[in-house]
Structure 1
Amino acid sequence: MTNRDFIVVTTTHSSEEKARELATAVVRERLAACAQVYPIQSVYWWDGDVQAEAEFRVDFKTRADLSGKLAAFIGSKHEYDTPEIIGVPVVTGSNAYLDWVNTETTAS
């Protein structure tokens, strides 16, 4: 596998509890090897106006071939009408870490 075979998928949630629940569910399903949850401040356009909210971002480390399954899983569990689900390719990474991501994810 090469670096291009891996992605980081990002979503956000309104609370740390919901973000951690989603992170745990995704890793338990083996759709990602790791999930990181951290607080952010989001500014965005919604319902005809600028909104500003505290949110919790979740970054999932996974294989690119699992992106469709992961996106579907996130969408099915998410509270938002239009959740952020964005995948960014891994440009570089240590072989040991990427081998671990590959080993800890499944395509079932």
Structure 2
Amino acid sequence: MPTVYVTAPPDAADELARTLVADRLAACVNRVDCDSVYRWEGEVHEEREVILLAKTTDDRYDALRDRIEAEHPHDVPCIERFDEADVLPAYASWVEDETTPGRD
């Protein structure tokens, strides 16, 4: 069960989080405000961003990644996959249920 780490500008993060959950690409997306300092095209930037932590399944990961790439406002979005080595079985079952298309 992967957790996917994404950063996005605040105005895009809320819509992206809602879309991923509404389309069953993620069971849950946590939003955490942060300040980022990064180098882009030879310059150092400092901006307010939102960290998104999306809980998904192996089966839904590719579609989730593709949706983020398609809807993210940055040319090169931060998308990092973390695979859980140990997860509560009931939680893993909930994520599986909530990311299965056609369930209501």
TM-score, normalization by structure 2: 0.90
SS in 1 for 2:95: helix
- Aligned-pair CA distance for 1:106: 2.3
Q: 48-57 or 79-88, which moves further after superposition? A: 48-57
Q: Deviations over 1:29-49 (max 9, x none)?
A: 101100011101212111102
1:77 to 71, 76, 97: 71
SS in 2 for 1:75: helix
- Aligned-pair CA distance for 1:107: 6.0
1:104 to 86, 89, 98: 98
Maintained 8 Å contact 1:30/1:104:
yes
Answer yes or no: is 1:51 the counterpart of 2:31.
no
Answer yes or no: is 1:31 the counterpart of 2:32.
no
Q: Deviations over 1:8-43 (max 9, x none)?
A: 01111111x421110000101101100011101212
SS in 1 for 2:86: coil
In structure 1, distance between residues paired with 2:74 and 2:23: 21
TM-score, normalization by structure 1: 0.87
Identical-pair percentage: 35
Maintained 8 Å contact 1:66/1:107:
no
What are structure 2's unaligned runs of at least 5 residues?
Answer: none
In structure 2, distance between residues paired with 1:19 and 1:41: 14
Partner in structure 2 of residue 8 of structure 1: 3
Maintained 8 Å contact 1:7/1:62:
yes
Maintained 8 Å contact 1:12/1:58:
yes
